Amino acid sequence: MGVAVTVREVPEHTRDELAARAARAGMSLQEFLRALLVATAARPAVADVIARIRSRVDATGLRVDAAAILSARDADRR
């Protein structure tokens, strides 16, 4: 079972834009916002991703320089 969440002081133009996006998606504003919140919570925060990457680099000692990254990218495009 879910819980109710109230957000106050949302600017009118923001509410209108979100309502328009919901309508284009064939959803009510409530359904649209619920889906947006669930999707946002399912993704890790950027800071958490960066921290995990740094801990892996520290644990393995492996580093890849920019030239190697660009070379690998370019190899995929051939």
CB 22 within 8 A of CB 31: yes
Identify the pLDDT of residue 62. Answer: 85
Identify the pLDDT of residue 76. Answer: 76
Identify the pLDDT of residue 63. Answer: 85
Grouped pLDDT means (10 residues each) for the chain, 78 residues: 93 98 98 97 95 92 88 85
